[in-house]
Amino acid sequence: MLDIKFLRANPEIVKENIKKKFQDEKLVLVDEVIELDKEFREAKSRADYLRSQRNSISKQIGGLMAKGQKEEAEAAKAQVTSMAQEMAELEAKEEVLEGEIRKRMLVIPNIIDPSVPIGKDDSENVEVERFGEPVVPDYEIPYHIDIMERLHGVDLDSARKTSGSGFYYLCGDIARLHSAILSYARDFMINKGFTYYIPPFMIHGDVVTGVMSFSEMENMMYKIEGEDLYLIGTSEHSMIGKFIDTILDEKSLPQALTSYSPCFRKEVGAHGIEERGVYRIHQFEKQEMVVVCKPEDSAEWFEKMYHYTVEFFRSLDIPVRSLECCSGDLADLKVKSIDVEAWSPRQQKYFEVGSCSNLGDAQARRLGIRIKGEGKNYFAHTLNNTVVAPPRMLIAFLENNLNPDGSVRIPEPLRMYMGGKDLIKA
C-alpha cells in the first residue's frame, strides 16, 4: 500500500505506474482517493476546531455560573451540546471516508523499481542469466509420474478417491527423497545464517490482507468455515505476519528467517491441474526464506536471496536460469521480482521452481511493521523467496538425475538424508 502523502503529492507518478502495469481501469482510483482524502482532511480539521472551541467554552461555563450569569451559562451549554453533535457526525464521516480511502489504496499497485522491464504478462519476462549447462540425454526421459510409478513412489488413484484431483500420495524412496530435499534445504539456509522456523499453518484475515492483494487471496486461499482463519498458501504469510504491529530496533536488523510449512492453494483459473501430475497441485510443502530489513538494504538482500536458490539447485546438479518478471506480471505489492526456473530435459525448456520478491514497505505499511530510528520511526522493507518447493522440484530433480536404466542418482548433499543411498532403483 502506498503512502497517502506520496499519492497526494505525486498523482501523475502513481498513474504512470498503473499504466506501466497495464491496469488502466485503476486510474480513476487515484482521483477518487485524492477527492476522498480532501473531504477527510476537511472533516478532521473542522472537528479539531470544534473540539478546541468546545473545550474553551466549557471552561467558561463554570465562571459564568459563579458570577450568577445563568442565562449566558445556559446559552454556552447549548452551544457545547450543538458542537458535540456536529463533532459526532464529523467523526462518523471521518470513519466512513477513511474506510473508502483504504479500500482504494489497497488495490492501487506499489511503485515498481525503475529496472523492471515493461511488459503485459509473463510472456514478456526477461531472462537474466543461466547457471549450468542444460543437457538433453540421448535416451528417453519419461513423464515425471511415469518415473515415480516405475520406482513405486506415487499413488494418484488413491488420492483422487480420498481428496480429488490435485492431490497425491508419495511413498517409499520418493517420499523419502521429498523429505530429504526439505531437510537439506533447511540446513542449507541455516548454514547461510538464517534462523529456522516452523510457523502457524493458519492465519487471521487481517494478516492475509496485510501480506497479499485481494485478488491473490481470492484465487489462492482456503478459508476455514465459520472462523477468522485461512490456510496459508506459503509460510511467507505467517512469517511476515509474525511482525504485525511491531516496532523493531535497528540493531536487530536484518531479520533473516527460513521456514518450513505445508502450503494450500485453490489454484483458481489454473487450467489443467494435471490428472497425472504433481506440477500444479492443491497441497505441497516448501522451505521459504524471509527477510525484514532497513530500506537501504533491501536491494542487496534481493540479489543475495535469489542467488541462494540458484546455488541450492546447482548443488543438486540441476541447471537453472533467472528470469526477471515484467511490470504486467508483478503482483500489486511487489517492487521487483525474479523467478528461478529449472531445466526440464523431457520438455527441453525451463519451468518455474521458485520466485524471489522485494515488496518494499508495502506489507510493512499494511501490517504496521516499523523500525525505531533516530527521531522518528519508519517502515521496514520485506522480502521473500522460495528455497525449494517439492513435489514440483522433484520433477526437475528426477529428470536431471535419471539414468538410462531408469534408476535415479542421488547427489552427494542428499545422501546423508537418504541413509547413505546414492541410487534409487525400482
Structural domain containing residue 129: 122-424
> Cell 535416451 appears where?
139
- Residue 395 forms part of a structural domain: yes
- Domain end (from 73, 105, 137): 105
Average pLDDT on 353-370 reads 96
- Residue 113 forms part of a structural domain: no
| Residue 28 φ then ψ, to 5° | -65, -25
Beta-sheet pairing, 195-197 with 255-264: parallel
Predicted pLDDT at 218: 76
Asked whether residue 158 carries a pLDDT value surpassing 70, the answer given is yes
- Domain end (from 105, 140, 162): 105
Instruction: Write the CATH number for 25.
Output: 1.10.287.40
Predicted pLDDT at 272: 54
Instruction: Write the CATH number for 401.
Output: 3.30.930.10
- Residue 288 forms part of a structural domain: yes
- Domain end (from 50, 71, 105): 105
Are 197 and 289 in contact by the 8 Å Cβ rule? The answer is: no
Are 110 and 211 in contact by the 8 Å Cβ rule? The answer is: no
Asked whether residue 85 carries a pLDDT value surpassing 70, the answer given is yes
All three cell numbers of 351: 519451468
- The answer on 215 and 76 residing in a single domain is no
Beta-sheet pairing, 377-379 with 126-131: unpaired
- The answer on 390 and 308 residing in a single domain is yes
- The answer on 142 and 79 residing in a single domain is no
All three cell numbers of 391: 513435489
Span 266-314, pLDDT tens digits: 875 555 545 568 888 999 999 999 999 999 999 999 999 999 999 999 9
> Cell 531479520 appears where?
255
- The answer on 183 and 244 residing in a single domain is yes
- Residue 111 forms part of a structural domain: no
- The answer on 304 and 160 residing in a single domain is yes
- The answer on 313 and 375 residing in a single domain is yes
pLDDT tier at 59 (50, 70, 90 boundaries)?
confident
| Residue 420 φ then ψ, to 5° | 90, -5
Q: In 3D, which of 194, 232, 23, 221 has the Cα closest to residue 108?
A: 23
- The answer on 321 and 370 residing in a single domain is yes
HEC string of the chain? Answer: CCCHHHHHHCHHHHHHHHHHCCCHHHHHHHHHHHHHHHHHHHHHHHHHHHHHHHHHHHHHHHHHHHCCCHHHHHHHHHHHHHHHHHHHHHHHHHHHHHHHHHHHHCCCCCCCCCCCCCCCCHHHCEEEEEECCCCCCCCCCCCHHHHHHHCCCEEHHHHHHHCCCCCCEECHHHHHHHHHHHHHHHHHHHCCCCEEECCCCEECHHHHHHHCCHHHHHHHCEECCCCCCEECCCHHHHHHHCCCCEEEEHHHCCEEEEEEEEEECCCCCCCCCCCCCCCCCCEEEEEEEEEEECHHHHHHHHHHHHHHHHHHHHCCCCCEEEEECCHHHCCCCCCEEEEEEEEECCCCEEEEEEEEEECCCHHHHHHCEEEECCCCEEECEEEEEEEECCCHHHHHHHHHCECCCCCEECCHHHHHHHCCCCEECC
| Residue 340, amino acid | V
Predicted pLDDT at 356: 98
Span 207-261, pLDDT tens digits: 999 998 767 777 789 999 999 999 999 999 999 999 999 999 999 999 999 999 9
C-beta atoms surrounding 334 within 10 Å: 23
Are 109 and 24 in contact by the 8 Å Cβ rule? The answer is: no
Predicted pLDDT at 389: 95
Residues forming a β-bridge with 264? 283
Predicted pLDDT at 291: 98
| 239 alpha carbon, distance to own chain's centre | 10
Average pLDDT on 396-406 reads 96
pTM score, whole prediction:
0.89
All three cell numbers of 348: 527441453
CA dihedral (283, 221, 165, 347) in degrees, to 10, reads -70
Span 21-41, pLDDT tens digits: 999 999 999 999 999 999 999
Distance CA 326, CA 357 (A): 12
Predicted pLDDT at 179: 97
> Cell 504485525 appears where?
244
- The answer on 300 and 209 residing in a single domain is yes
Q: How many domains does the chain have?
A: 2
- The answer on 380 and 243 residing in a single domain is yes
Span 364-394, pLDDT tens digits: 999 999 999 888 999 999 999 999 999 889 9
